[in-house]
Amino acid sequence: MIDTLLARIENKELTVGIVGLGYVGLPLAVEFGKAGVRTIGIDVNVDRVAQLNRGENYIQDVKDAELKALVDAGTFTATTDFSSIKHIDAVCIAVPTPLSKTKDPDITYILSVNAELEKYVHPGLIVILESTTYPGTTRELILPAMEASGLKVGTDVFLLFSPERVDPGNPVYQTKNTPKVIGGVTENCLKLGTAVYAHVMDELVPVSSPEAAELTKLLENTFRSINIGLANEMAIMCSKLGVDVWEVIEAADTKPFGFMKFTPGPGLGGHCIPIDPHYLSWKMKTLNYKARFIELASEVNASMPEYVTELVSGALNRDEKSINGSKILLLGMAYKPDIDDVRESPALDVYSLLEAKGAKVSFNDPYVEQIMFDGIMESSVPITPEMLSSYDCVVITTNHSEYDIEVIVKHSKSIVDTRNATTGFGNEKIMRLGAS
């Protein structure tokens, strides 16, 4: 079977299925389609599936024309029907893995896919989990579902973990040219999985097991979380010491060895960094071990929106105003510049905290038209000199490149800058995070 499967994969005679057509799944599906591999996307969102089958794109990192061409050619189709797995040779699972309110892993989506796998698993099926999760998920959850019908992983069916490494909006590293870590349950699993991904990835990084691959992703984002936490705490300390943290960071960054630059901000955002370390922390708790660095970094990073709220209060007090009743404009709701992704964005927390204190809050974001707050849909307001001057305080929460900082500084009454976007302006009405 192995040799037959390898030959079919290498000759592009296989059909690939992508379960979950979001920021990870859809770009991956498009790459397989571009490589000439027939691809079926599976998603539970009926509207999303209908949109894709019309060739209409909703992911910033996917080119509209490329998706339309694949749909028109029949190379890519989308469906809500999991029975398609019966006709699929390799399935990549890219469903969400959020945290519960108690910061425990929420693997509801993975369990739902498991239930479908049990129904439609068949000899020769290759299953690759890409969703970020705790170490052991692939072997402990997916493997039993695949073997429930009596098939043997490594002989009859094949199972791997390969963590997604998507960085939305990155102009250099995208799905194809980001090295792909992959770990199989058995040697045969790894051999077949690497053959599948070889069609769409420039570089493959095989590791010894699914657990090693799972931990690789968690280490990457735990590293970032901890170092961002350090930068955030340094910003607070520098402010108390009367030193500019941005100057300190730039000076430290001149060291050609032993230092990597991280910058502070209003908190952590995105689909990975605020969430992934908690998967590892939760797993270690089950082994009676406390992941101390993770817990401390999370505490510091989670406190930053409240710290930004205090900065806003200080800026308003300087103008003899209180937060209660003040008009405040947030610039940027996406979690990082020049994208439309608001998942876990700290700007959402800043918005809610200011509203809770009685402020009249609005937002502008060139990439985000509307956001739901407490059941009410709020729309992005335009930026004009008149609009800027009508607010008591303007808070720069995301430094989109489209923002004309000179205009913002000139026409705003008071500014709280959490991203060092106003550096060099030296205006007394600016209060910057991490500066005296």
The residues assigned a catalytic role are 272
Could you identify the residue written with the tokens 């490494």? 165
| 401 in Cβ contact with 303 (< 8 Å) | no
Tokens for 59, please give them: 């992911």
Minimal CA–CA distance to 188: which of 378, 21, 432, 3? Answer: 3
> What is the radius of gyration, based on Cα positions, of the chain?
24
Helix (H) or strand (E) holding 112: helix 108-120
The helix/strand/coil state of 93 is strand
CA distance 34 to 52: 16
DSSP line for 304-370: HHHHHHHHHHHHHHHTT--STT-EEEEE--SSSTT----TT-HHHHHHHHHHHTT-EEEEE-TT--E
Q: Is 265 exposed, middle or buried (0-12, 13-18, 19+ CB in 10 A)?
A: buried
